C-alpha cells in the first residue's frame, strides 16, 4: 500500500518533470521562431511583455481571486469555529494563519491564493460549510493550506508565465508573417527544417496549454497527499471530495482565470471522465483523487 509520503514524493517529482518539459518547449519555440524569422529581437520583446503581465498577476493573485469570486472576509465571531480549524491546522503545518474569506455560493468549493505564506488567503463557500461535517471540512482546509506550504501559487505562476510567453510569441510571429515578414527565407533549400519549425510554432500553444493543465492536476494530487498528512485522516478529505463532486452546478462567479485555484472545478463536475475534457482540465477526476487517498496509509 502506498504511503502518504511516497505519494507526495512522486507528485513533486512528476511536477518538476512537467516543468522541465515546459522549459524545453519554450526553448524549442524560441529556436524555431529565431531560425525562421532571423530576428531574435522579437523574442526579447515577447519575453519582457509576458513576464511583466504574468508576474503582476502573481503579485496580486489573492486580490484578483477574491474580487472575481465575490469573497468577503469571514467574521471572527460568526465563523469562530472555522477560524479555529484554520488556525489549528496552520500551526500544525508551521504556517502563519492565512486570512479567511467566505463566498456566498451554494456550490461547495474552496481555494487558497497569495504570493507567499505571509500573504496567503483561504476562501470557502457557504455551500461547503453547509454540506461538510467537521472532519471533511478539516480535510479541505488542510488541502488549501498545503497549496500555500507547497508554494503551488509560485509553481503555477511559472507555468502561466511560460504558457503566456509561448502564446504571445507565436501570435507575434503569425502577425509578422501575415504582413510579409519572415526574414530571409532562402536557407539553402532546407524545406524539411522549415516545415518542422512552422509546425513547432503552430502547435506550441496547444502543447503549452496541455502541460500547464497537467501541472495543475499534479499540484492537486500533491495537495491532497500533503493535506492528508496534516490531518492524519485521508478519509475525511476523500469524503469531502465525493460530496463536492456530487454537486453538478457551477459556481455563480466561476472564472477560467482562477479555476485552477479551487479544490474542485468551479464550472461543475459533469465533464469528469471524458478523455479530451480531462486533458484540458485544471483538476484530475475526483474518482482518481479519492482512490489515491483511500489507497494510502498514514
**Cell numbers representing residue 265 in the block:** 472545478
**Cell numbers representing residue 252 in the block:** 455563480
In 90-162, the DSSP E strands lie at: 99-103, 110-113, 121-125
Smallest CA-to-CA distance from 260 within 208, 220, 204, 207 is with 220
Q: For residue 272, is pLDDT > 50?
A: no
Query: Of the segments 15-29, 123-137, 187-201, which one has the largest average pLDDT value?
Result: 123-137
Least confident of 3-17, 122-136, 204-218, 248-262: 3-17
CA 25 – CA 60 distance, rounded (Å): 27
CA 121, 122, 125: angle at the middle one, nearest 5?
140
**Within a 13 Å sphere around the CA of 225, how many CA atoms are in the beta-carbon half?**
22
When pLDDT is averaged across residues 8-15 and rounded to a whole number, the result is 64
H or E, element range at 294: helix 286-294
pTM of the model: 0.78
CA 64 – CA 67 distance, rounded (Å): 5
State the total domains in the chain: 1
Residue pair 233/239 in contact by the 8 Å Cβ criterion: no
**Within a 13 Å sphere around the CA of 134, how many CA atoms are in the beta-carbon half?**
6
Question: Catalytic pick from 144, 220, 271, 288?
Answer: 144
CA 261 – CA 252 distance, rounded (Å): 16
Please report which confidence band the pLDDT of residue 192 belongs to, taking 50, 70 and 90 as the band edges: low
pLDDT tens-place string over residues 207-239: 777 877 888 888 899 899 999 999 999 999 999
**Domain that residue 285 falls in:** 2-297
144 is catalytic: yes
Residue pair 205/170 in contact by the 8 Å Cβ criterion: yes
pLDDT tens-place string over residues 77-107: 999 999 999 999 999 999 999 999 999 999 9
When pLDDT is averaged across residues 148-159 and rounded to a whole number, the result is 77
CA 131 – CA 109 distance, rounded (Å): 10
Residue pair 147/223 in contact by the 8 Å Cβ criterion: yes
Mean pLDDT, the chain, integer? 80
Q: Look at 254 and 201; give whichever has higher pLDDT.
A: 254
Region for 104 from its dihedrals, namely left if φ exceeds 0, alpha if ψ lies in -120 to 50, beta otherwise: beta
Amino acid at each position: 500500500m502506498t504511503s502518504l509520503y511516497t505519494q507526495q514524493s512522486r507528485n513533486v517529482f512528476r511536477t518538476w518533470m512537467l516543468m522541465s518539459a515546459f522549459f524545453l518547449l519554450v526553448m524549442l519555440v524560441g529556436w524555431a521562431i529565431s531560425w525562421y524569422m532571423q530576428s531574435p529581437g522579437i523574442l526579447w520583446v515577447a519575453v519582457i511583455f509576458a513576464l511583466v503581465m504574468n508576474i503582476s498577476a502573481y503579485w496580486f493573485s489573492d486580490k484578483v481571486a477574491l474580487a472575481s469570486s465575490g469573497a468577503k472576509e469571514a467574521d471572527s465571531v460568526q465563523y469562530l469555529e472555522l477560524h479555529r480549524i484554520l488556525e489549528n491546522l496552520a500551526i500544525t503545518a508551521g504556517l502563519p494563519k492565512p486570512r479567511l474569506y467566505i463566498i456566498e455560493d451554494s456550490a461547495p468549493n474552496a481555494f487558497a491564493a497569495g504570493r507567499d505564506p505571509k500573504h496567503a488567503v483561504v476562501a470557502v463557500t457557504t455551500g461547503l460549510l453547509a454540506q461538510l461535517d467537521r472532519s471533511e471540512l478539516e480535510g479541505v482546509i488542510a488541502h488549501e493550506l498545503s497549496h500555500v506550504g507547497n508554494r503551488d501559487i509560485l509553481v503555477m505562476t511559472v507555468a502561466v508565465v511560460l504558457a503566456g510567453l509561448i502564446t504571445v510569441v507565436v501570435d507575434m510571429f503569425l502577425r509578422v508573417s501575415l504582413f510579409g515578414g519572415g526574414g530571409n527565407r532562402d536557407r539553402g533549400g532546407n524545406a524539411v527544417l522549415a516545415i518542422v519549425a512552422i509546425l513547432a510554432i503552430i502547435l506550441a500553444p496547444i502543447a503549452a496549454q496541455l502541460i500547464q493543465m497537467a501541472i495543475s492536476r499534479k499540484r492537486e494530487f500533491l495537495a491532497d497527499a500533503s493535506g492528508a498528512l496534516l490531518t492524519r485522516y485521508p478519509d475525511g478529505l476523500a469524503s469531502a471530495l465525493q460530496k463536492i463532486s456530487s454537486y453538478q452546478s457551477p459556481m455563480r462567479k466561476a472564472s477560467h482565470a482562477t479555476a485552477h485555484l479551487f479544490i474542485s472545478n468551479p464550472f461543475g463536475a459533469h465533464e469528469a471522465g471524458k478523455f479530451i475534457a480531462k486533458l484540458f482540465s485544471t483538476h484530475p477526476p475526483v474518482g482518481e483523487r479519492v482512490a489515491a487517498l483511500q489507497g494510502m496509509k498514514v
